């Protein structure tokens, strides 16, 4: 729904909307959906596959065919609008095109009924616009695998279509009136909203003003804002203030990890505490595995009781949920009270929430629900991307697809007889690729067409089996199903921004290799996301250099940029580069003793809690073992491989205020960012690595491809990602304006100008020349003989 058309309301002293706008699809999904939640008609095509399918259908039509026809019509203050897929004047036929990849006789009846409802709404809007007395409507189902069309058509009188249109509008009107009043009250309240603290923190107002200006200009913003200024509130507050003047329908707050989402929810709670009665619907979206009540069942009425009759009970559940809090607990309670699925209730509530807090994947993924809703509903949206330095790797992962031979072998062993033949065809194509392998790792210029075709046929066979077997798929077969589905979709989108690589897997059955469509530059996939938003604000404490993020994330040329000054000062943190030690692999053994001596001497001068970061678990264990042998009186604790959540909490609990000891961790791991250890909980860090990714065949091919596309292949593959991890890890030491600490950067390469230029400007950076290593026991050590130049 877009911003309603306003009018003056003297009783409320503001502007009250005369009309409420709703998209055709949203109207029909509200009024015409009934029966069970049923996801067996899968896998549904992606948005890109849908666009391609629609274009293919249009290209097959004759001269005079019109496609993407903008239509609108009003009824009692309700404005309904959308785009009809196509009109064939020779047949006087308006077409509603739907893409699919499954046998149509598997489609649930309530899906087909919804499609007819959409066609009829478009039919009346078209008859009204063209002054037609009758019109043939056609549902065109296009199979993206076989490229075949199946058409269902029927002739309708305009009067019948008008009656259907008005009936659906009548059903929706009460809800529309409620939503119109909510939108008016929300915008009025946000216009008057005050910052929830007496004053902004240092740098926070600068950030807030930049966000507000970017939204007003309709441009993206790349904002580097340091820890400690309150970035969460500093971005949310101006975005909310911009909702009314910029006619924003929704705000999406996207975070990489759960702590980021929690901070956003806490900031929004603080705003509501300071503005009692603020009519702001804040929805928290969580992963399916965290919301699902019946993980052992499949999503249809014959299997899951919360899917049975879902759409029949949805209206009451929706109304109850919107009357309370929409965080995970609130949605869960409303769902179970009305016996509907909590996960899919939350997805339905996304249509009516004002602010939606969730993971990156809800907007940036190939099948992102929020992106699809924003486009289909023609919303004006503002997008906030927290800790945006994570988006490069996260987006790469979203658009990378792998086939694991172990997963495939398990699927073949558990597959029923009906699936043996299609899976054997996949095995033959896969083995043929392996036979061509003349090295442990190689890449190909194109995705393998024969294998992709075999996978598509196997998917169709598995899907037929799933429909005929209500209890659902065996877990092994299901794992392969989802791997193959994603692989096929990425194969269809394969271009120069990705690689197809084959890696030999020692011990794999039938001597097969692991196959990967590996995204290198996610920019082409992300650009449509920025285009769909009024403004996208990407913010983090570490976004240097800006050109790296602009190139890799595909930000448009008019993207604004800002670097917010830190509230911290150079006397809070002493950063010491130890340039007489090399942590390169070939020098590793020689580095152990000097590093241990450095740590022991520093601890003797200023005991407290320290973190020590290393490039790998092996290196960590070598240094920790030697340190524990030489300094048994100093408490130590280590990050272990594959630590679960409770183990990670136990590791962090060792950093108690007033405590003393050294925690050993891997750079870029769970403790390198996103943890908060203020005050005496952490007074220093030792970083014994430049953080560069390993030089291996995969990274070398990535470097070569980036070099060909963007230049700077080494910097984009190794240097910038490595230094990002260093700065993030060092940022654990100073969390508040009262903190004091020290960071040792242990490697001679840290003294190079190109490294020093990318370190935060407020750091007090000095290079230690002499050995034995001088010790820092205050923040103004005399043992420093050179000072880092200011970054240009």
Average pLDDT, the chain: 90
DSSP class of 681: G
Say how far apart CA 627 and CA 620 lie, in whole Å: 10
**Surface-to-core class of residue 270, CB atoms within 10 Å of its CB (0-12 exposed, 13-18 middle, 19+ buried):** middle
Tokens describing residue 542: 């570490």
Round to whole Å and give the CA distance between 272 and 260.
19
Q: How far apart are CA 192 and CA 177, in angstroms?
A: 23
Pick 13 or 749 by higher pLDDT: 749
**For 156-188, what is each residue's pLDDT tens digit?**
999 999 999 999 999 999 899 999 999 999 999
pLDDT beyond 70 at 469: no
Q: Can you give the pLDDT at residue 772?
A: 47
Spell out the alpha helix ranges (H) of 389-545: 391-398, 405-414, 420-435, 449-468, 475-492, 523-531
Residue 2 CA, chain-centre distance (Å), reads 24
* Pair 568, 737: CB distance under 8 Å: yes
Burial bucket for residue 785 (CB in 10 Å: 0-12, 13-18, 19+) = exposed
- 779 or 494, greater pLDDT: 494
CA-CA distance, 792 to 790, in Å (whole number)? 6
Q: How far apart are CA 404 and CA 513, in angstroms?
A: 8
Characterize 630-652 residue by residue with b for buried, 16 or more Cβ atoms within 10 angstroms of its Cβ, and e for exposed: ebeebebbbbeeebeeeebeebb
Q: What is the mean pLDDT of residues 376-392?
A: 95
Q: Which long-range contacts (CB under 8 A, 24 or more apart) does 697-704 make?
A: 697/440, 697/441, 698/441, 698/501, 698/503, 698/518, 701/443, 701/499, 701/501, 702/499, 702/518, 702/520
Per residue, what are the HEC states of 693-724? Answer: CCCCHHHHHHHHHHHHHHCCHHHHHHHHHHHH
- Which residues, 6+ apart, have CB-to-CB distance to 163 below 8 Å? none
Check if the beta carbon of residue 553 is closer than 8 Å to that of residue 522. Answer: yes
CA distance 405 to 510: 9
Secondary structure letter of residue 261 according to DSSP: H
pLDDT digits (tens, 9 = 90+) for 517-575: 999 999 999 999 999 999 999 999 999 999 999 999 999 999 999 999 999 999 999 99
Residue 790 has a pLDDT of 29
Least confident of 416-420, 509-513, 685-689: 509-513
Share of the chain above pLDDT 70, in %: 92
CA 613 vs CA 344, 545, 619, 621, 637: distances in Å: 42, 23, 10, 11, 12
Q: What is the pLDDT of residue 510?
A: 54
| Percentage of residues in the chain having pLDDT higher than 90 | 77
The whole-number average pLDDT for the span 317-335 is: 95
**Band (436; pLDDT cuts 50, 70, 90):** confident
For tokens 């490039």, what's the residue? Answer: 615
Residue 405 has pLDDT above 50, yes or no: yes
Candidates 14, 324, 319; CA nearest to 175 is 319
CA–CA distance, 399 with 554 (Å, rounded to integer): 14
Average pLDDT over residues 432-453: 89
Would the pLDDT of 775 be above 70? no
Q: Is the pLDDT of residue 645 over 90?
A: no
- According to the model, what pLDDT value does residue 392 have? 98
Residues forming a β-bridge with 22: 80
Structure tokens at 431: 């083995």
Q: Which of 361, 366, 333, 367 has the alpha carbon at shortest distance from 349? A: 333
Strands 609-614 and 636-638: unpaired
Confidence of residue 338 (pLDDT cuts 50, 70, 90): very high
**Residue whose C-alpha is closest to residue 634's, from 601, 667, 666, 657:** 601
Please state, in angstroms and as integers, the Cα–Cα distance from residue 383 to each residue in 257, 362, 386, 431, 530, following that order. 16, 12, 10, 45, 9
Q: What is the mean pLDDT of residues 295-300?
A: 82
Q: pLDDT band at 460, cuts 50/70/90?
A: confident
Tens-digit pLDDT profile for residues 184-231: 999 999 999 999 999 999 899 999 999 999 999 999 999 999 988 999
3-state DSSP helix/strand/coil % of the chain, to nearest 5:
45, 20, 35
- The contacts of residue 258 (CB under 8 Å, 6+ apart) are none
**774 pLDDT more than 50:** no
Of 763, 764, 754, 766, nearest to 792 (Cα)? 754
């Amino acid at each position: 729904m877009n911003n309603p058309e306003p009018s003056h309301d003297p009783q409320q002293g503001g502007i009250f909307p005369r009309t409420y706008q709703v998209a055709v699809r949203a109207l029909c999904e509200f009024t015409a959906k009934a029966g069970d939640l049923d996801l067996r008609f899968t896998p549904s095509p992606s948005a890109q596959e849908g666009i391609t399918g629609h274009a293919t259908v249009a290209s097959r039509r004759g001269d005079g065919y019109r496609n993407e026809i903008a239509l609108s019509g009003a009824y009692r203050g309700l404005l309904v609008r959308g785009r009809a897929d196509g009109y064939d004047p020779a047949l006087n036929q308006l077409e509603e095109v739907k893409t699919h990849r499954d046998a149509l006789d598997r489609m649930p009846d309530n899906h087909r009924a919804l499609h007819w409802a959409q066609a009829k709404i478009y039919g009346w809007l078209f008859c009204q616009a063209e002054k037609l007395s009758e019109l043939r409507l056609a549902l065109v189902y296009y199979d993206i695998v076989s490229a075949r069309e199946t058409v269902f058509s029927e002739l309708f009188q305009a009067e019948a279509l008008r009656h259907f249109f008005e009936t659906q509008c009548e059903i929706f009107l009460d809800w529309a009136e409620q939503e119109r009043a909510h939108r008016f009250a929300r915008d009025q309240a946000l216009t008057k909203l005050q910052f929830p603290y007496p004053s902004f923190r240092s740098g926070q107002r600068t950030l807030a003003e930049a966000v507000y200006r970017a939204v007003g200009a309709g441009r993206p913003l790349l904002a580097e804002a340091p820890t400690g200024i309150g970035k969460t509130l500093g971005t949310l507050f101006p975005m909310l203030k911009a909702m009314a003047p910029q006619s924003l329908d929704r705000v999406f707050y996207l975070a990489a990890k759960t702590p980021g989402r929690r901070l956003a929810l806490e900031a929004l709670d603080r705003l509501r505490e300071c503005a009692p009665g603020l009519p702001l619907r804040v929805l928290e979206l969580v992963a399916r595995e965290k919301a699902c009540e019946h993980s052992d069942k499949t999503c249809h009425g014959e299997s899951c009781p919360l899917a049975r009759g879902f759409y029949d009970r949805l209206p009451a559940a929706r109304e109850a949920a919107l009357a309370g809090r929409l965080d995970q607990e609130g949605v869960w309670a409303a769902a179970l009270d009305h016996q509907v699925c909590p996960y899919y209730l939350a997805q339905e509530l996304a249509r009516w929430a004002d602010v939606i807090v969730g993971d990156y994947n809800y907007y940036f993924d190939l099948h992102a629900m929020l992106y699809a809703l924003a486009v289909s509903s023609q919303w004006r949206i503002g997008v906030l991307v927290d800790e945006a330095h994570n988006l490069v790797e996260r987006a790469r992962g979203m658009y990378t697809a792998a086939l694991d031979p172990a997963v495939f072998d398990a699927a073949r062993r558990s597959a029923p007889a009906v699936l043996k033949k299609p899976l054997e065809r996949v095995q033959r194509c896969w083995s043929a690729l392996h036979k061509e392998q003349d090295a442990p790792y190689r890449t190909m210029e194109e995705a393998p067409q024969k294998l992709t075709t075999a996978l598509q046929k196997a998917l169709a066979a598995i899907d037929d089996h799933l429909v005929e077997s209500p209890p659902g798929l065996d877990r092994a077969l299901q794992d392969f199903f989802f791997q193959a589905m994603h692989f096929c979709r990425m194969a269809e989108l394969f271009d120069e921004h990705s690689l197809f690589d084959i890696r030999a897997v020692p011990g794999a059955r039938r001597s097969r290799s692991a196959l990967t469509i590996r995204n290198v530059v996610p920019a082409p996939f992300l650009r449509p996301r920025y285009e769909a938003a009024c403004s996208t604000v990407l913010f983090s404490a570490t976004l240097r250099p800006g050109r790296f993020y602009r190139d890799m994330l595909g930000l448009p040329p008019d993207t604004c940029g800002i670097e917010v000054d830190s509230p911290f000062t150079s006397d809070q943190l002493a950063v010491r580069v130890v340039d007489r030690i090399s942590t390169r692999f070939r020098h590793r053994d020689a580095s152990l003793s000097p590093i241990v001596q450095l740590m022991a001497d520093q601890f003797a001068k200023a005991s407290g809690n320290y973190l020590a970061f290393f490039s790998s678990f092996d290196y960590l264990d070598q240094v920790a073992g030697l340190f524990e042998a030489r300094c048994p009186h100093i408490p130590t604790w280590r990050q272990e491989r594959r630590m679960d959540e409770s183990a990670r909490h136990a590791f962090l609990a060792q950093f108690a205020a007033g405590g003393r000891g050294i925690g050993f961790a891997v750079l870029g791991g769970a403790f390198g960012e996103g943890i908060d250890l203020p005050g005496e909980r952490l007074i220093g860090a030792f970083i014994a690595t430049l953080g560069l990714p390993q030089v291996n065949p995969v990274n070398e091919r990535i470097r070569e491809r980036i070099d060909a596309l963007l230049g700077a292949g080494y910097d984009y593959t190794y240097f910038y990602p490595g230094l990002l991890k260093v700065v993030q890890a060092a940022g654990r030491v100073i969390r508040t304006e009262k903190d004091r600490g020290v960071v040792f950067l242990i490697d001679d390469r840290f003294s190079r100008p190109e490294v020093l230029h990318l370190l935060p400007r407020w750091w007090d950076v000095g290079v230690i020349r002499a050995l034995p290593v001088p010790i820092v026991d205050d923040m103004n050590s005399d043992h420093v003989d050179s000072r880092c130049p200011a970054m240009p």
